[in-house]
């Protein structure tokens, strides 16, 4: 009996839809577009919330991070000293295992014994042998416990094994050559890291034998270059452990203050300076961490909330659109309702019929929405920068769609069903239904609500793009346009200077410089500078130390505020430095030119002695310029003549871009045909820091326009 009644409702619903083709088309189109947009957003949000959840240890992994306000600089760091992990494991019994990473940027890689061009690999990390204890990826070939215990051994991902050796089985025991001269033996092949990981690594280099680790001073607040992870024992109270770690870090920082600065932590904190280490849950890294440097760009929980709200609003707009169209047809269906009631039709039966119509519309709209989302997925993947896919095999996905269909049919069809079924049959048959259709006050309020939401989305998008325009037009302190950066310049060795001279013969090239330090995003550590051959809390300043050559400022369009530029003809300039205005202010120099600054040599052991300090003389002050995100204040910086061949930059005349690139490639291949030619533009590198905001603005704008379109369908 019940099944027959439902069948009758559905037959009547389909008949009504065919009879009112335009109405059905508008209703289904509006709902389908709204649900498709909502579905795409939900897939993005679900992906963001799933980061690192693949790891069965995820809830027990924490990361030591640092908040250091010292020497005029405030750093919030995702990296700590190499000694932090071992010390924590030694002093805190809750630590089951630990693992450190050291990122040194990209590497040039090739298979040993073959004449072939190097391949640039971005995802390369030095790691401890405990990596697979903390991050239990499946090891396809090799021994997970022993594969990274020996120096010069490497574990590679499955995709890289197939890339270099055709298969994981063929890779084991083979040699990879890094940077043209380092031979690393493949001792394991592991499955590729899931895309929802806060970092990706394709080559894991053994940390065993690493010189930086061996020579690191035994202090927590020095050489913060290591991403460190602690795996805690099962049953550990995370919050209680965080307090124990904070107490341990205060003790260790106290040792650093005493040994390096000759003072106490309490005295340092009286000056407003501090160094604090705390723990961050690994599951919070992707959406809640805004530290530097991260192993990969993070997301932002604010964007998750914003997009969740947009999805809810778009779905609400689509449902309101359905209600508007249904109530607009109220006068047209009033006589139908009146006749049914006169013939004995119960109100509950009428409600059932109208709800069945809304269910059929919702079901068709959901099916169409899934099709739209699937077709749009490749475009949406590029737009979001996430490796998203339709979860066809997920039972949760299909159950959610079924529940969503019922919810939408109730949400969108509930009011019209109760509204239409409430008509008085006698008044309706007399034609007394004026004012219940398009002119209804409730429907007008819904239309206003729809467009209010749509306009709010459009305004929010405009504000995002206004901020991006401010970033793009703000003066940076250097000229970022018409500069080509040559990647991997170090691969040429001293030949890079030959290439530079050849390029300067090109009339389109105005100037060129070779340096590993360019004003683009990079993982760079500060050093502590002082006014004398020792550290103390009152005269130490934390600043960058860049190795440059004499044409650096000219090539990058930087301006001297005081003093002069480097002169290679002056022998004394080998110990001369140019500092920025921020450094001059923090050092307290009213007249910086000729002043002395001291910095300990990188190779000092333990507490630096007076003879460990290098004396440098200020010859110039450069105007402040941004080398990191505009979200950060400009930090102190000094430049010194020296060899640093990581990158090369060429300033050229604007109209000659293609000709300059072609000339660069020709010269590169003539000097080193086995090395891959790779370049980028300085302005594009700087813009990449705001790629997330650019994506967010674009996505919000697109969904804002969709909300307007859906709203218009209900008019």
CA distance 330 to 417: 10
Least confident of 462-471, 475-484, 606-615: 462-471
pLDDT band at 434 (very low <50, low <70, confident <90, very high): very low
The confidence score (pLDDT) of residue 220 equals 86
Q: Is 412 found in the same domain as 554?
A: no
- Residue 156 vs residue 424, higher pLDDT: 156
404-415, pLDDT tens digit by residue?
Answer: 888 877 766 666
Mind spelling out the 3-state secondary structure of 404-461? HHHHHHHHHHHHHHHHHHCCCHHHHHCCCCCCCCCCCHHHHHHHHHHHHHHHHHHHHH
Q: Is 672 found in the same domain as 562?
A: yes
Determine the distance from the C-alpha atom of residue 631 to the mean position of all C-alpha atoms in its chain, rounded to a whole number: 15
- Residue 611 vs residue 440, higher pLDDT: 611
Residue 282 scores a pLDDT above 80 = yes
Would you say residue 675 lies in a domain?
Answer: yes
Residue 424 scores a pLDDT above 70 = no
Would you say residue 625 lies in a domain?
Answer: yes
Least confident of 182-186, 298-302, 341-345: 341-345
657-684, pLDDT tens digit by residue?
Answer: 899 999 999 999 999 888 889 899 998 8
Owner of token pair 């102190």: 636
Residue 704 scores a pLDDT above 80 = no
pLDDT band at 379 (very low <50, low <70, confident <90, very high): very high
**Are 197 and 295 spatial neighbours (Cβ–Cβ below 8 Å)?**
no
Would you say residue 307 lies in a domain?
Answer: no
Query: Which whole number is the average pLDDT over 162-176?
Result: 93
Determine the distance from the C-alpha atom of residue 207 to the mean position of all C-alpha atoms in its chain, rounded to a whole number: 26
The confidence score (pLDDT) of residue 660 equals 93
Pairing of strands 527-529, 679-681: unpaired
Where are any strands of DSSP class E within 477-519? Answer: 483-486, 509-514
Q: Is 671 found in the same domain as 536?
A: yes
Q: Is 403 found in the same domain as 505?
A: no
Owner of token pair 């809390």: 537
The confidence score (pLDDT) of residue 438 equals 45
Q: Examine the fold and report which residue of 230, 261, 286 is the final residue of a domain before the chain moves on.
A: 286
pLDDT band at 236 (very low <50, low <70, confident <90, very high): very high
**Are 189 and 168 spatial neighbours (Cβ–Cβ below 8 Å)?**
yes
Least confident of 30-34, 423-427, 435-439, 684-688: 435-439
**Are 615 and 588 spatial neighbours (Cβ–Cβ below 8 Å)?**
no
pLDDT band at 97 (very low <50, low <70, confident <90, very high): very high
The confidence score (pLDDT) of residue 314 equals 86
The Cβ-side half-sphere exposure at 356, using a 13 Å CA radius, reads 19
Query: Which whole number is the average pLDDT over 580-590?
Result: 92
Q: Is 676 found in the same domain as 534?
A: yes
Query: Which whole number is the average pLDDT over 635-649?
Result: 89
Owner of token pair 């897939």: 43
**Are 108 and 179 spatial neighbours (Cβ–Cβ below 8 Å)?**
yes
**Are 457 and 316 spatial neighbours (Cβ–Cβ below 8 Å)?**
no
User: 394-430 burial, b for 16+ CB within 10 Å, e for fewer?
Assistant: eeebeebbeebbeebbbbbbbbbbebbbebebeebbe
- Residue 147 vs residue 675, higher pLDDT: 147
Q: Is 551 found in the same domain as 423?
A: no
SS3 641: strand
The confidence score (pLDDT) of residue 50 equals 95
What element of type H or E holds 372? helix 347-384
pLDDT band at 351 (very low <50, low <70, confident <90, very high): low
Q: Examine the fold and report which residue of 402, 418, 434 is the final residue of a domain before the chain moves on.
A: 434
SS3 204: strand
Query: Which whole number is the average pLDDT over 468-472?
Result: 72
In the chain, % of residues over pLDDT 70: 85
100-116, pLDDT tens digit by residue?
Answer: 999 988 888 988 876 67
Q: Which residues, 6 or more positions from 295, have their beta carbon under 8 angstroms from its beta carbon? A: 78, 101, 103, 125, 198, 199, 200, 227
Torsion sign across C-alpha atoms 108, 110, 112, 117: negative
Would you say residue 30 lies in a domain?
Answer: yes
Would you say residue 311 lies in a domain?
Answer: no
CA distance 708 to 37: 13
Query: Which whole number is the average pLDDT over 181-207?
Result: 95
Strand-pairing partners, residue 577, are: 618, 640
Highest mean predicted confidence (pLDDT) among 50-59, 212-221, 535-544: 50-59
The confidence score (pLDDT) of residue 105 equals 84
For the chain, the 3-state helix, strand and coil shares in percent, each to the nearest 5, are 50, 20, 35
- Residue 231 vs residue 627, higher pLDDT: 231
The torsion angles phi and psi of 485, rounded to 5 degrees, stand at -100, 125
CA distance 690 to 681: 15
Mean pLDDT (the chain) is 84
If you count them, how many residues does the chain have? 715
The torsion angles phi and psi of 689, rounded to 5 degrees, stand at -65, -20
SS3 254: helix
**Are 484 and 649 spatial neighbours (Cβ–Cβ below 8 Å)?**
yes
User: 53-75 burial, b for 16+ CB within 10 Å, e for fewer?
Assistant: eebebeebbbbbbbebbbbbbeb
**Are 354 and 417 spatial neighbours (Cβ–Cβ below 8 Å)?**
yes
Q: Domain of 368? A: 2-49+322-434
Q: Which residues, 6 or more positions from 441, have their beta carbon under 8 angstroms from its beta carbon? A: none
CA distance 563 to 164: 53
User: Could you give the dihedral angle defined by the CA atoms of residues 405, 409, 410 and 415, in that order, rounded to the nearest 10 degrees?
Assistant: 160
Query: Which whole number is the average pLDDT over 250-262?
Result: 85
pLDDT band at 343 (very low <50, low <70, confident <90, very high): very low
Torsion sign across C-alpha atoms 83, 85, 86, 90: positive
In the chain, % of residues over pLDDT 90: 45
Q: Examine the fold and report which residue of 434, 455, 474 is the final residue of a domain before the chain moves on.
A: 434
pLDDT band at 470 (very low <50, low <70, confident <90, very high): confident
The confidence score (pLDDT) of residue 488 equals 86
Owner of token pair 């697109």: 702
Residue 715 scores a pLDDT above 90 = no
Query: Which whole number is the average pLDDT over 497-518?
Result: 92
Q: Is 612 found in the same domain as 565?
A: yes
Would you say residue 711 lies in a domain?
Answer: no
Would you say residue 152 lies in a domain?
Answer: yes
- Total structural domains in the chain? 3
Would you say residue 503 lies in a domain?
Answer: yes
Q: Is 218 found in the same domain as 78?
A: yes
pLDDT band at 435 (very low <50, low <70, confident <90, very high): very low
Q: Is 249 found in the same domain as 152?
A: yes
Q: Is 68 found in the same domain as 23?
A: no
Q: Is 598 found in the same domain as 497?
A: yes
Residue 234 scores a pLDDT above 60 = yes
Q: Is 187 found in the same domain as 91?
A: yes
The confidence score (pLDDT) of residue 43 equals 95
């Amino acid at each position: 009996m019940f099944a027959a009644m439902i069948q009758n409702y559905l037959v009547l619903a389909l008949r009504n839809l065919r009879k009112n083709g335009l109405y059905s088309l508008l209703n289904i189109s509006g709902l389908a577009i709204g649900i498709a947009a909502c579905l795409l957003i939900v897939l993005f949000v679900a992906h963001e919330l799933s980061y690192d959840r693949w790891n069965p240890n995820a809830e027990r992994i924490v990361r030591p991070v640092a908040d250091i306000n010292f020497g005029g600089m405030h750093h919030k760091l995702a990296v700590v000293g190499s000694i932090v992990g071992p010390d924590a494991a030694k002093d805190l019994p809750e630590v089951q295992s630990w693992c450190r990473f050291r990122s040194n940027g990209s590497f040039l890689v090739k298979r040993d014994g073959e004449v072939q061009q190097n391949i640039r690999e971005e995802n390369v990390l030095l790691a401890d042998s405990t990596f697979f204890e903390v991050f239990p990826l499946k090891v396809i070939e090799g021994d997970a416990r022993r594969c990274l215990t020996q120096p010069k051994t490497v574990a590679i991902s499955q995709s890289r094994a197939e890339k270099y050796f055709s298969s994981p089985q063929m890779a084991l025991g083979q040699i990879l050559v890094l940077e043209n001269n380092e031979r690393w033996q493949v001792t394991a092949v592991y499955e590729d890291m899931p895309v929802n990981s806060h970092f990706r690594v394709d080559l894991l280099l053994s940390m065993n034998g690493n010189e930086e680790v061996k020579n690191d001073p035994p202090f927590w607040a020095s050489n913060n270059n290591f991403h460190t992870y602690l795996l805690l024992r099962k049953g550990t109270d995370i919050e209680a452990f965080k307090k124990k770690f904070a107490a341990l870090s205060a003790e260790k920082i106290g040792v650093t203050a005493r040994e390096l600065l000759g003072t106490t932590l309490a005295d340092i904190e009286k000056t407003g300076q501090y160094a604090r280490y705390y723990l961050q849950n690994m599951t919070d890294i992707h959406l809640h961490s805004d530290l530097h440097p991260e192993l990969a760009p993070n997301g932002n929980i604010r964007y998750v909330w914003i997009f969740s709200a947009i999805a809810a609003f778009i779905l609400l707009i689509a449902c309101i659109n359905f209600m508007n169209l249904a109530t607009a047809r109220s006068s047209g269906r009033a006589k139908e309702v009146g006749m049914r009631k006169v013939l004995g039709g119960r109100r509950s039966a009428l409600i059932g019929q109208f709800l069945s119509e809304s269910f059929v519309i919702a079901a068709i709209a959901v099916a169409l929405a899934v099709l739209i989302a699937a077709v749009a997925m490749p475009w949406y993947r590029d737009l979001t920068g996430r490796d998203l896919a339709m979860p066809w095999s997920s039972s949760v996905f299909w159950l959610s769609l079924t529940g969503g269909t019922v919810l939408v049919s109730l949400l969108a069809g509930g009011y019209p069903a109760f509204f239409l079924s409430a008509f008085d049959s006698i008044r309706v048959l007399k034609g007394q239904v004026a004012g219940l259709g398009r002119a209804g006050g409730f429907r007008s309020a819904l239309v206003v609500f729809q467009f209010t939401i749509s306009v709010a989305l459009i305004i929010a998008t405009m504000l995002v793009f206004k901020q991006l325009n401010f970033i793009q037009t703000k003066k940076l302190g250097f000229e970022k346009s018409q500069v080509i950066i040559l990647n991997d310049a170090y691969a040429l060795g001293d030949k890079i200077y030959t290439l530079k001279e050849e390029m300067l013969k090109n009339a389109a090239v105005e100037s060129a410089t070779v340096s590993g330090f360019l004003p683009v995003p990079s993982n760079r550590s500060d050093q502590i500078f002082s006014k004398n051959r020792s550290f103390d809390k009152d005269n130490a300043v934390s600043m960058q130390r860049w190795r440059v050559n004499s044409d650096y400022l000219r090539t990058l369009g930087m301006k001297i505020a005081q003093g002069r530029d480097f002169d290679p003809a002056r022998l004394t300039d080998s110990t001369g430095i140019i500092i920025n205005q921020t450094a001059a202010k923090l050092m307290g120099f009213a007249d910086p030119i000729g002043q002395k600054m001291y910095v300990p040599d990188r190779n000092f052991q333990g507490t630096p002695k007076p003879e460990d300090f290098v004396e440098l003389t200020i010859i110039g002050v450069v105007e402040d310029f941004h080398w990191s995100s505009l979200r950060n204040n400009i930090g102190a910086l000094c430049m010194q003549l020296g060899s640093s061949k990581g990158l090369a930059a060429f300033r050229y005349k604007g109209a000659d871009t293609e000709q300059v690139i072609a000339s660069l490639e020709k010269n590169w291949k003539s000097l080193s045909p086995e090395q891959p030619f790779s370049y980028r533009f300085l302005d594009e590198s700087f813009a990449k820091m705001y790629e997330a905001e650019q994506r967010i603005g674009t996505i919000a704008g697109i969904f804002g326009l969709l909300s307007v379109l859906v709203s218009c369908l209900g008019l």
